[in-house]
A and B are shown apart, each in its own frame.
Chain A
C-alpha cells in the first residue's frame, strides 16, 4: 500500500489510543458554541464520547457545560495539561481573547482561583500555560477565531482572536496550525465534523487538515453563502425582495451572502432546517474576520449590491472581480485587534489605560 494512503481495516488500532479534549469556555464569549455542539447530530457529541465511530481514539471530554465533575475535580485536568501530564490533548478555545495588558490590575476573563494569591487565574494565563503542551488548538466560533462581536469598535477590553494573540504563524508541538471554525455561533455539525477530522488525523487515518489562509477548513468555508443559497435563482432573474418576509433574494435588504465564506445557506442549521438568507435572515458575515464592523449597519444594503444586482445577468466577470475586492476586505480583521499593551479601539477608559 502506498505510504501516502494510510492503511484501513476493521481491526487497525488508532495511532493514538486515548485523547483528551480540554475545552475552555472562558474567553469573552457566551458559551453559545458549546451549546451549539449539543445540537450536532453528524456526529453528535455522544457519538464521539461513547465511541460510536470505528478506528478513532477514545475521547475524554472536559467541557464545563457538560462535565459531571465540579470545582477542583474538574480543574485538575487543566493543571495536569499544563504540567504536560495529560498527553495528548486538544485545546478547544471559545470566546474572544481579552487584552489583559492594557490595565494595571484586575481581570477581564478568568477561570479558577490561584490558591496562593486568592485571585482569579486569567484566561490568557491558561492559554500561555496550555498552548505549548497541546497537540492541536481548535477555535470554536468567531470570537475565538477572529475576535468577533466583543472586539468591535469602541470595545473596552481590547479583545482579539486567538491567532492575533498567539501569532498567525503559531504551530503546535505536533506541527499543526491553529484550526479556526468560525460562525456566531459555530454551525453545530461544522464544529463536530472538524473535531472528527482531527481525530482521524490523530489516529493516522487522514492527512494534514486542509486549511485556507484564514485557517478555516477548506471543505467547509471554500464557497460563499450566495453560491449555496437556494434564493440564487431570484438573484439571477434580478427579482429582489424590498420587504422582509419575501421569499425572494434579500441582497438589497442587507444580505452580504455574495462575499461571505460560509456553508450555512446550503447546509442549513440543523439537519437542513433553518439557516440565514435561505430562510429570510440577511447574512451579516458572522463567519468573517471583518465581523462585525465591516458589515455594519447590518440592515443597510452592502456597498456594490445595487450595482451588482442590477447587472448580474450581463457582466459576470466584472462582478466577480468587484466581489473579490470586497471579500478580501471582509476577510481582514480591523487594526485594533492586537496583543500590544495599548487600547486602540476608540474607547477612552477613565480608570485604566495603556500602562
Chain B
C-alpha cells in the first residue's frame, strides 16, 4: 500500500514558470550526488523530484561463499567515512550467529571508538561541509539581504562562543580561511586520534573482531582518550550555542524557512552503544538488550513512538524494487522462513534478498538508480513507510527522548527531551544542554540535532571511560571471547551509522556466507519511488521546498535545495543522483558559472 509522505501544500499564487536546472555532482558530501530539478520560479518552489545513484560495487555478490569471519573486514570498506560503523554492525551480527558475548571491556572499548566516530564525523561534516552553505561567502552570493541583516544582529550566546554578531559566525565558517572552519578541522583530527586509540585506524579500523577487540586496555590508553575528550567537551560548550544562534537566526531572518527540506515525521533509529550488563547477542532476548542501548532504537511516526523493540524493527523490514536496476528475487531461494522466535520472515526481508544486477540505460520514467527502496511495514496500517534517518541525530535524539529510557548521569532522556551535562573543564564551568523535540522534521532541525548529538556522544563517552576504568581497576582486562563458526546459523546486527540506521543480515551455510545484506542509512534516505509509487525521503523533502534565494533564474545557486539535501548528511559511496521531473519545461539551464572557487583564492 502506498503511503502519504507529506501533507500536500497548495501555495501556487502565480502562473507557473518552470525551469529545469541541474547540479551534478553535489559536492561537500561523501560520494557523488547529482540533482536535476524543475523549479517554478514564479511561485518560488521546487516542483518534483526523483533520486538516482551512480555507482554499483556488488558487496552482497562477492561476499557469497566467503568465510563469515571475513565479513567485517570486507564490509567496513563499504564506507570511507563511517567504515567502523559497518565493522561494528557486522561484528554484532557475527556475535549473534556464533552465539558469543564479548567481555565487557571489549564493549566499552567499541563504545568509546564509536563515540569518537560520531564526535569526529558530525563535527567535520557540520562545519567543514554543511557549514559552507551558511558561511559569509555563500550567504553574500545567495542572499545579500540576509547577510546585511546578519551584520546587524547580535548573537544571543556571544559570551559562550565569542562571536559578537551572526555575521561574525558566518565569516568564521568561510572555507579554509575562517577561524571556526580551521578550528573544526583540527578538532576533527583530535577526535580521530581518540578513535585510533580504540579501533586502530580511521576510516577502516584494524582492531575489531567478532568476540571482542585486539586493543590492549591500559591506564595510558584511557588517559590518552580522556584528556582529548575533555578538550572536546570544552569545545562543545561553544559549538552548540554557536549553532543555535546561527540556525535560530535563519528562522528569524527568513520567515517560512521551516519548510525547507520538511517532510512528515517518519523517523527510524536502530540504536547505538551496547550495554554489556544486558546485551548477550541472543536474538530471543533482543527486545530487552535493544532497550538497554545507550541510544534507544525506535520508529517515530507523526510524533508517536510506534515501537522500541528491535525484533519488531527487524521482522517488519522490507526491501522493495520499483525504479532500480535489479531483477526481482521472488523466484530465488528463501534462506530464512522464521526468526528464532517463530515469527515468519517475508520474502522481501534482507535475510531473503538475492541481488541480481541488471545494468541498463538511465531512464527517469523507468529505472534510474542502483539504490533499492528499503521500507518499514507499519502493521497498524499496512503502510510500507519510507522512513528517513533525519541525517542520523534527529532520529536518534527523537526516539531516545520519547522512550525516556537512557539515564547515565551525563545523559538523561526525559520523555520529551534529552539532557546532557557537561562537567567543568579548564576554561568553562559546568553546562547543562537540553535538546527538545522540535516542531518539524526539516533541514534546520536535522542540522541542529547534529550539533547536539556531538555533545550527547561526548557525554556518553565520559560514562564509558568511567566504566572501562572500573573494569581495568578490577583487573578484568580480557577483551576477547573465543568462538567456532557454526555450520548453519543466522545473525543480524543493528547499529547507528553516523548518518542513521544500519543493519547487517547474515546467513551461514556449510560454514560459509550463504547470504549477506547490509542496509546503511543512505539507501533509506536516497531511494527512488518504490513499486507502490512512494517516493524516497530526499525526493519527498526536496519536493515543495520553497525557494528563498534572492538570485533569479540567471545566477541561481540553488542554496535552499543544497541545504535540504545536505541536512540528511548524504554518504553515497552508494552514489546518488537526484532528478526532479514532471511539470512543463519552459526553458532549460545548467548552473551558471561564476562561483569563484576556494582554489582561486
- Contact residues of A with B, CB < 8 Å? 20, 25-26, 28-36, 38-39, 41, 44, 46, 49-50, 59-62, 64-76, 103, 105-113, 115, 118-120, 148-150, 152-157, 159, 184-185, 243-247, 250, 264, 268-271, 273-276, 279-282, 284, 286, 292, 296-300, 345, 347, 349-352
Contact = CB atoms under 8 A, between A and B. Distances in A.
Interface string B61-93: 110111101100110011111010000000000
Give the contact-size bracket for chain B.
35 or more
Contacts of A247: 216
B172 interface: no
A271 B595 CA distance: 36
B196 to A, nearest CB: 3
B357 A351 contact: yes
A339 B178 CA distance: 45
B81 A35 contact: yes
A150 B57 contact: yes
A250 B479 CA distance: 14
Contact of A29 (B209, B558, B573, B593): B573
A109 B55 contact: yes
A48 B115 CA distance: 30
B202 A68 contact: no
A36 B44 CA distance: 40
A65 B185 CA distance: 14
B130 to A, nearest CB: 13
Contacts of B209: 244, 299
Contact of B77 (A184, A281, A298): A184
Contacts of B203: 30, 32, 35-36, 185
Contact of A296 (B70, B327, B573, B594): B70
Contacts of A74: 25, 27
Given A156-B62, A296-B70, A71 B200 contact: no
B551 interface: no
Contact of B200 (A62, A154, A280, A296): A280
Given A30-B83, A69-B595, A270-B189, A279 B207 contact: yes
A159 B57 CA distance: 9
Nearest to A46: B176
B201 A67 contact: no
Interface stretch (B313-321, B359-367, B396-404, B442-450): B359-367
Which residue among A71, A105, A275 has the maximum number of chain B CB atoms within 10 Å of its CB?
Answer: A71
A334 B246 CA distance: 53
Contacts of B27: 64-70, 74
Contacts of A113: 22, 24, 34, 36
Main secondary structure of the interface of A (DSSP, over half): loop
B232 interface: no
Interface string B196-229: 1101111111110101111111000000100000
B599 A71 contact: no
26 contacts: A26-B55, A32-B81, A35-B203, A38-B188, A64-B25, A64-B32, A68-B138, A68-B595, A72-B23, A72-B24, A110-B54, A155-B58, A184-B204, A244-B213, A245-B212, A245-B480, A270-B193, A274-B200, A279-B215, A280-B214, A280-B216, A281-B205, A292-B73, A296-B70, A299-B67, A351-B358
A240 to B, nearest CB: 14
Nearest to A141: B80
A35 B217 CA distance: 28
Given A152-B62, A157-B56, A106 B590 contact: no
A244 B81 contact: no
Contacts of A270: 189, 192-193, 196, 202
Given A26-B32, A273-B197, A62 B207 contact: no
Q: Which of B32, B129, B175, B177 has the most C-beta atoms of chain A within 10 angstroms of its own C-beta?
A: B32
A154 B62 contact: yes
Nearest to B557: A70
A149 B78 CA distance: 9
Interface string B546-573: 0000000000011000100000000001
A68 B65 contact: no
B34 to A, nearest CB: 7
Contact of A281 (B54, B206, B217): B206
B378 interface: no
Given A46-B176, A276-B201, A281-B205, A70 B562 contact: yes
B356 A108 contact: no
A111 B35 CA distance: 12
Given A29-B573, A106-B361, A280-B207, 13 more contacts: A30-B77, A39-B202, A59-B599, A60-B599, A68-B132, A68-B137, A72-B593, A107-B359, A155-B62, A157-B56, A245-B480, A270-B202, A280-B200
B255 interface: no
A109 B496 CA distance: 27
A270 B213 CA distance: 20
B598 interface: yes
Contacts of B325: 106
Nearest to A157: B58
A275 B517 CA distance: 29
B439 interface: no
A156 B213 contact: no
Given A70-B562, A112-B34, A298 B362 contact: no
Contacts of B599: 20, 49, 59-62
A38 to B, nearest CB: 7
Nearest to B367: A106
A347 to B, nearest CB: 6
A276 B58 contact: no
Given A71-B23, A74-B27, A275-B200, A280 B595 contact: no
Contacts of B327: 350-351
B577 to A, nearest CB: 8
B307 to A, nearest CB: 32
A124 to B, nearest CB: 13
B356 to A, nearest CB: 6
A301 B337 CA distance: 36
Contacts of B575: 26, 109-110
A39 B62 contact: no
By CB atoms of chain A within 10 A, which of B81, B128, B189, B200 has the most?
A: B200
B561 to A, nearest CB: 10
Given A26-B55, A64-B32, A297-B70, A33 B80 contact: yes
A273 B209 CA distance: 20
Contacts of B199: 274
A247 B221 CA distance: 13
A352 B577 CA distance: 23
Nearest to B482: A243
The 6 A-B residue pairs whose C-beta atoms are closest, nearest first, are A32-B80, A281-B206, A106-B359, A274-B196, A280-B214, A71-B23
A105 to B, nearest CB: 5
A282 B215 CA distance: 11
B26 interface: yes
B22 A73 contact: no
A146 to B, nearest CB: 14
Nearest to A24: B32
Contacts of A157: 56-58
B478 interface: yes
B157 interface: no
Contacts of B480: 243-245
A44 B67 CA distance: 39
A297 B175 CA distance: 44
Nearest to B30: A31
Nearest to B197: A273
Nearest to B106: A245
B597 interface: yes
Nearest to A61: B599
A67 B597 contact: yes
Contacts of A273: 193, 196-197, 224
Nearest to A110: B54
Nearest to A345: B62
A26 B33 CA distance: 11
